[in-house]
Amino acid sequence: MAEPRKTGQNEYLKIPDKFRPDVLSLVLEEHDLFRAQRAKRIRILEKLEAHSKGHGKVGYVAFLCSETMGAGIDSSDIPAIGDALLSVGEVDQLNLIINGPGGDGTVAEKIIELCRSHCKEFRVLVPNRAKSAATIIALGADTIVMGYCSELGPIDAQVAIVVGGIPRYISAQSFIDSKASLLEEFKNAIKAKPKQDPRAILQQISTLDIPFIDHCGKLMDFSKEVARKYLDRYMFRGIRPVSKRKAQINTVLVGLSSTGIFKVHGRMINGIAAKDDLHLNVTLLGKGDQLWKDLWHYYIRADVLLSKSRGMGKLVETKNEILVSGAAE
């Protein structure tokens, strides 16, 4: 058996059915489980396509990030998703199943453009969590499909930091707020009676990376601008007059900022809140809805693949293609 090519944490590797690059998957292959599970996921994708009968040619792409691996949306996802879209081809309705904690907003913008270039109608399906940059991708759709446990999140930009050797994404707003908090403390110390010694606060202020914090502010503005552009161009395009459309877009942007009505980045924004409070075009699926059952069934099988395969960070899958990142150290 040929040795599989090793990849770095953020590289994608197309996996033939002949072998897997880690011990667990090799054992699974011996029992024919990997190919059997792949075949079952393909059958579920076909069942999902059948739910869109009457919408012309339909395609499904799954894009899942493993949160336990600290996997977020980044530039390595572009060629993988682009390749998956080529395997789907031009369709009338493209459905993107997405799950992840967020990541790079500039990549989210590119993913929206890639997806929309392959279809007339673009739907995003959220089986569990689509946070931050993943929420931005959802806002670029015509419709967001959510169930009783689906959630979106604030679109405050995320910056990658390394904790314990594992990349984690932290809200850019946190760095901005830290600067503002220290400056407020300094101002209060100067004005206090009796006057307080501000040297300890000044020492903390001196450690701030001002250019980095300025960059965080630009990232925050960028996230809102991308969301504004796509809401205006697609999901809210039918709202008239223009002033009403702009007001509705602003409601979404305020609501989805980390200082808006949901306050913190990790706050759950469920389908009801997305539909009723933010007035997004959300299709809500009940627990008994067959589309939801099939979507959840696919998600669980894909999530088990990510969680049980050593070092596997992300999965991009269609009926004809399977690509993973971080498949080997």
Does residue 99 contact residue 64 with C-beta atoms inside 8 Å? yes
The per-residue pLDDT for range 4-59, each reduced to its tens digit, is 334 445 677 776 554 445 566 556 555 567 788 899 999 999 999 999 989 999 99
Structural domains of the chain ordered from first start:
12-172+209-325 (3.90.226.10)
Sheet (strand 12-14) strand order: 12-14, 322-325, 314-317, 58-65, 91-99, 119-126, 143-146, 282-284
In terms of Cβ atoms closer than 10 Å to its own Cβ (0-12, 13-18, 19+), residue 290 is exposed
pLDDT at 1: 37
CA distances from 265 to 21, 146, 178, 280 (A): 35, 19, 15, 19
pLDDT at 207: 86
Q: Which of these ranges, 33-47, 81-95, 197-211, 238-252, has the smallest mean pLDDT?
A: 197-211
pTM across the whole model: 0.80
The per-residue pLDDT for range 75-90, each reduced to its tens digit, is 999 999 999 999 999 9
Q: Which of these ranges, 110-114, 223-227, 235-239, 255-259, has the smallest mean pLDDT?
A: 255-259
Percentage with pLDDT > 70 across the chain:
84
| Residue linked to tokens 């599989």 | 4
The per-residue pLDDT for range 106-159, each reduced to its tens digit, is 999 999 999 999 999 999 999 999 998 999 999 999 999 999 999 999 887 767
